[in-house]
A = this chain, B = another copy of it.
């Protein structure tokens, strides 16, 4: 019978783009859910955050930060800043392009991702933020 389990994860991140590995928290949520096969969806709360997967090692982290800042550079003019003066026009654009959510498979009670594939939460805002990631697990127990 299909069951559903929800959990809220909180992560502290530095000024954007900053990112952290949330795979341990996702694995813990799967264990607590008791769900063996199904899917885990994760969504970050707020319009200047995003989620994706990477090989979480310092080189890829640095390369991804640089690429994110190339997509929407911090130093140029943004219409958002002209109106709101909060200096984070680039943060909004970066987060929108990466997207707020991912869905990952659960098989035999485990997160079914690659050995060198970790789920990461990204803060794009121009100051440190505590970010909430909402996790919803659906599947057979």
Contacts and interface: CB of A to CB of B under 8 A. Distances in A.
Interface in A43-80: 43, 45-47, 52-55, 57-60, 62-64, 67-68, 71-72, 78-80
A4 B55 contact: no
Q: How large is the interface on A (under 10, 10 to 19, 20 to 34, 35 or more residues)?
A: 35 or more
* Main DSSP-derived SS at the A contact region: mixed
Interface in A77-100: 78-84, 89, 92-93, 95-100
Given A39-B136, A138-B4, A59 B81 contact: yes
Interface of A: 2-4, 6, 37-39, 41, 43, 45-47, 52-55, 57-60, 62-64, 67-68, 71-72, 78-84, 89, 92-93, 95-107, 112-114, 116-118, 134, 136, 138-140
